[in-house]
Structure 1
Amino acid sequence: MADPQSIITLNIGSQTVSMGHFSRSKNGGLILKAYETTGILADPSAEMTRLPQVRLAVSELASKLGLNKDKVDYAISGQSVFTRFVKLPMLEDDDLEQLVAFEAQQHVPFPINEVIWDWQLLESPGSEREVVLVAIKGDALDELNDCVTDSGLKTGDVDTAPMALANAFLYNYGDIGETSLLIDIGARTSNLIYVEGKRVFTRSIAIGGAAITSAISKEYNVPYIEAESQKVSNGMVALDTRHTSSMDELTGALASCIRTSLNRMPAEIARTTNFYRSQHGGSAPTRVFLAGGGSNLPRVGDFFQQKLRLPVEYFNPLKRISVGQEIDVDKVSAQAHQLGELVGVALRSIDSALVSIDLVPEVVQSERDETRRRPFLIGAAAVTLAAFATLYNSNSMKAGDAERKLKIVSERIDGLNDFAEPIEDEVKREAVIQEFSDQFVQAHYGQRYWLEVVDDLKQRFGHTHVWVTDVSPLINYQVGSEKPAEEAVRGDFADLQYGVSGVIEPKLDEPEFLARNRPNRNYVAPEINAVRIKGLWRGFGGASRVNDLVKMLTSESHFFTLEVEDKSGNRPVTRTLTASEYSETESMLKEGDFAATFTVTIPLKKPLPLR
């Protein structure tokens, strides 16, 4: 459990879920103590799996940060909420609140009793006042909030991503006088945030990373997850034909496809800028800042600078935030532009947020009201009990009346018990559905994870004098075991008919399996926990190159470095094996041979169950 002075924030994006752990500094600022991020599948065709994925992601992040029963303030993506900026005449504060309630009923495109909404008075020039209205369907908010509370966390403030980003920008870049545009490129939507002094205007447009991936999937007729992998591994934004002419044909075609997908965004930005100037009296931006996961695409900054004809730089929400000693500085520097929502939500806890929208779910609001009323209820209960005691002592005849009232209450309780059994049946049914849903989500995670492993091998294990001839996943591999690990893929895979799985069937009759899966024990599926890489090397120093590639592969990737217990001394100690100790590599070329062989077995950081 985190320290009571800690600030826990969560950002629930369309493709990325991130969580941060902050603390207050002595000067009243913030210190980032730790943070973790994880991805979820943003495939529009798999929308039904989004909430189970969010639930698993939040639980995984809370576990990594060591959180349990902590209060968390979180932000939800701009695509989930309705936002409207409304101009109002100058009124007294009491009349203003009534007018805002009336305007909310007029502007929110849902029945007002079905939404959770909030508003904030903003800075505005002239004789009019400007407020921002934010609303979300109550059912949608409850589903997201359940994903948070199911992990053991407690709900604090509920903000929106655009407002959190606006607060983070104002806190870190409040000294900029001219109008700035912050472009937050998300998966499903992109947020356009205009900041002019202390004025804020936002709009969400339905263009993001998922649209680019869908365009690649359609252009090359490949599954969405493969298109996403290609975008992340080889994608960049083409600037012009001269730029693509210097690339190979496949890379140039991919870059042109990405540019075509992004071409709609500058037009939407121009349209929003015109609306902001004409309807809200704002000024055109003179600087552009990029944020969000979509801004990781190479040359995307050059693309916007070319299209908007404005200077472009990456948003740094940690400009005025201290970073704890436990954080990898290089890592956080590379990912800083994706942490704006976490910082913006955390600023609310130190009263440094200009816009404070709170879309608190009804169940949480009820708990807050109950907490506020609790001292009065306890006092009232004490007075009531004292009165009953006095009446009882002064007039014992009223005891019979109390028994009659108690009987009435008991009968009412018995009537309510009739509803208990159907509710319990529904809870059990929900648990069964959740179990199947979790299995489906885990299968999606395994599919994506294996593609990431292959990408790791492709990007880190490559050299002009080293060839990989075979990559085999292994089952239940153990370091130093005399028993060889079993390959997960059948030896006759190449000869199998279409539709027949090439993965081996688990051997359920072996003694080891039966010992692990006796009656009254849970089934333990075999796991793919290592990869065996075979290949050839040539040229001077080729053997050492293989070892260097192994070191590169086991540093900050999906593979573990190997450790063994050394019992040669007086006390057993654990030491890390060198690359040459767990790779079988011919150290010299034999006369007349073109190349020499090598075999490397490396464990996976996250084993995959063989199902």
Structure 2
Amino acid sequence: MANSNSFLCIDLGAGSVKIAAFEPNDAGGLTLKAFAQQPLGLPGAQDAVREGALKKALATLLSDPAFASKKINLCPPGYQVFSKFSKLPPVEAKKIAEIIQLDAQNNIPFPIEEVVWDHQVIGASSDSELEILLVAIKSELVDRVFNTVGALGKSVDLVDTPQTALCNAFRHNYSELGGCSMVLDIGAKSSNVLFFEDGKIFSRSINIGANAITQEFATEQKMRFPEAEQFKLEQGFVALGGAYQDPDNPQQAAVSKIARQVMTRLHIQVNQTIQSYKTQRKGGAP
């Protein structure tokens, strides 16, 4: 039987669903009691068929008695979440909420009545501008997940975004680090780059993920996505390039070259993000 204070955290990624069961401990922290994951395959990154794959994965995971808690914290996949850092002009405290509402209407790329949105105040710049993080997700996507989880006898306490969840985890575990730190979170469909410096954060989403390797390999080798994914996980690696000899297995050589090409594209985007952070945000080198 689950502890009455226990809860579940579920990461609804584009490539897999991860679930963890936690209980508060006497030291004031949390104890991880169980962890599991279920792959979604290519349907996990395709909205037209994602819901069916998600229902099947959640039903499988939540059938385990280790995940009997009724309370759930959810995190949707990064590609479904809109996020943007904004600077607001100095205004009276009573007008801040009004300015943030206006900023959300101007920047969120969907009608405001069709999304669930929120903000987090990051801090104030040297010229007294208020720095905020806007996040939004379409209401229909949230409703689908709530309905799916509800049908399995669970209730959702919290919906967080990948960027803020990772930010909270980093700050909790590495709060003593000084200077500028960078975290690169490589997902199935997209990747997140986060910077932490002097109590402030900045993040950028990059539309390159591990599925790109699988999809390009599957197309080149005329394989189905699940077969290509399995081969990538079992035998794939990033080719060294240059004068290094290719593997004897031609499929292994092919997937390693594709992995190198995708990682090179990601490396370029990460470098551009670092330069942008240093020049536009006046940040330090990570």
TM-score range, shorter-chain basis? over 0.9
Q: Deviations over 1:545-597 (max 9, x none)?
A: xxxxxxxxxxxxxxxxxxxxxxxxxxxxxxxxxxxxxxxxxxxxxxxxxxxxx
Tell me what 2:272 maps to: 271
Indicate if the aligned counterparts of 2:8 and 2:69 stay in contact, CA closer than 8 A.
no
CA distance in 1, matches of 2:214, 2:122: 37
CA distance in 1, matches of 2:168, 2:189: 22
CA distance in 1, matches of 2:214, 2:279: 34
CA distance in 1, matches of 2:92, 2:281: 22
Indicate if the aligned counterparts of 1:41 and 1:50 stay in contact, CA closer than 8 A.
no
Q: Deviations over 1:125-155 (max 9, x none)?
A: 4122200000111112211222222211001
Question: 1:209, CA displacement in angstroms?
Answer: 1.2
Indicate if the aligned counterparts of 1:162 and 1:191 stay in contact, CA closer than 8 A.
yes
Residue 72 of structure 1 pairs with residue 79 of structure 2? no
The structure having more radius of gyration, on CA atoms, is 1
Question: 1:208, CA displacement in angstroms?
Answer: 0.7
CA distance in 1, matches of 2:121, 2:115: 20
Question: 1:8, CA displacement in angstroms?
Answer: 1.7
CA distance in 1, matches of 2:33, 2:249: 45
The 3-state SS of whatever aligns with 1:241 is coil
> Structure 1 counterpart of 2:141, which letter?
A
CA gap 1:65/1:166 in 2 versus in 1, 3 angstroms: farther
Tell me what 2:3 maps to: 3
Alignment of 1:99-114 (within 5 A): 99-114=99-114
Tell me what 1:405 maps to: none
Tell me what 1:587 maps to: none
Q: Provide TM-score, normalisation by structure 1.
A: 0.45
Indicate if the aligned counterparts of 1:237 and 1:259 stay in contact, CA closer than 8 A.
yes
CA distance in 2, matches of 1:162, 1:211: 21
CA gap 1:249/1:10 in 2 versus in 1, 3 angstroms: closer
> Structure 2 counterpart of 1:177, which letter?
G
Question: 1:67, CA displacement in angstroms?
Answer: 4.3
Residue 212 of structure 1 pairs with residue 187 of structure 2? no
Q: How many percent of aligned residue pairs carry the same amino acid?
A: 33
Question: 1:99, CA displacement in angstroms?
Answer: 0.5
Gaps of 5+ in 2: none
CA distance in 1, matches of 2:153, 2:160: 20
Alignment of 1:403-422 (within 5 A): none
CA gap 1:45/1:72 in 2 versus in 1, 3 angstroms: closer
> Structure 2 counterpart of 1:49, which letter?
V
Q: Deviations over 1:303-344 (max 9, x none)?
A: xxxxxxxxxxxxxxxxxxxxxxxxxxxxxxxxxxxxxxxxxx
Name the Cα RMSD after superposition. Answer: 1.9
Q: Deviations over 1:469-514 (max 9, x none)?
A: xxxxxxxxxxxxxxxxxxxxxxxxxxxxxxxxxxxxxxxxxxxxxx
Structure scoring higher RCO (CA < 8 A, sep ≥ 6) equals: 2
CA distance in 2, matches of 1:255, 1:130: 42
CA distance in 2, matches of 1:18, 1:45: 15
Tell me what 1:51 maps to: 51
Indicate if the aligned counterparts of 1:124 and 1:199 stay in contact, CA closer than 8 A.
no
> Structure 1 counterpart of 2:248, which letter?
D
Tell me what 2:41 maps to: 41
Q: Provide TM-score, normalisation by structure 2.
A: 0.92
> Structure 2 counterpart of 1:133, which letter?
L
The 3-state SS of whatever aligns with 1:27 is coil
Structure having the higher strand fraction is 2
The 3-state SS of whatever aligns with 1:242 is coil
Tell me what 1:238 maps to: 239
Question: 1:51, CA displacement in angstroms?
Answer: 0.8
Indicate if the aligned counterparts of 1:36 and 1:64 stay in contact, CA closer than 8 A.
no
Tell me what 1:122 maps to: 122
CA gap 1:98/1:46 in 2 versus in 1, 3 angstroms: closer
Tell me what 1:131 maps to: 132
